[in-house]
Structure 1
């Protein structure tokens, strides 16, 4: 009887080990970074009783991201955190077909943090490359300090903000298997941010339109 129990235990352990190993590899962590190309931020504001359409020009910026996810065969779910800093030193104001570019002092620096949940579809094949596509929903937080804009010699105060808005995104990319537990990934992302307003007594009200960005990134993924 003891021999039977020992033999049965050994067989169960032998069968369970690869299953547990396979299950353990369904969890992954990733870290990465890249270049983001945000659209110019547009909106409107009223300065000195005159309503202006406003455009904040932006440049490409670097960003980094970290994520944790779980695989279900060819599908994955993932929580992704990403952060970037965007700045501009001017604002273009247009009213009645006439435009003026005003300086901003100090530079308007906005810290953008995104908290996204993604769903992915992998397309495995016989090579080490695994293409994938994904869709995500979540929120993004914009943080900026108080600023001053000088328009035609008149200084106007712009209130800093910490606003959270709805965001959605689409991704496409590919993993390249380096080892059993590690892969290199590269992907492109399109992300859209909802509109928001900044209103504070003593400051100029600014209504920001929805805007978007394209990003290219590379990173490492670790399976556990």
Structure 2
């Protein structure tokens, strides 16, 4: 007898097979349920509809990340990056399934629209967490960092989905660069401990822009 996780994965795999073979619109819930060996009622208990089958892993990941962010984290910036790594690592475990899902989404406009909304939900989750974890943080810095982490994550993940072998370390290096650009990567400088840099900027300049300019000068 299959456990719930196996049953869930089986339904997703069966749905993707049918979508690839006969198209998303031409595939019915009844066909998916039959191919997966489950009842129609079981399908609707696990998923709300055909679209939800495609994005069910994202829903689970978003729930898991909310739980992750509820835990104490010494460095909120690093926590956001770790959350991104957790999502990437999840899809690396079964790249074939991830690639099949990617191909289906690319072909169906309604799924592409749903994907855009899903990506924004990750970005908003990161943004809200940073604002809660860092009281007084400028909203533009919170949303900017969250958007950049999300964009970098998607850029690296897309390479995996297009068939390349991309290790988690590739994403981790890219996210370190994001933190470096924002000046929030501890120990990110090669300078000696007693080196001192003095810079003067307008009081109104965003912290992120100050960090960017300092980084540009130092590099």
Identify, as 1 or 2, the structure richer in strand: 1
**Common topology (TM > 0.5):** no
| TM-score calculated relative to the size of structure 1 | 0.24
| TM-score calculated relative to the size of structure 2 | 0.25
Greater Rg over alpha carbons, structure: 1
Identify, as 1 or 2, the structure richer in helix: 2
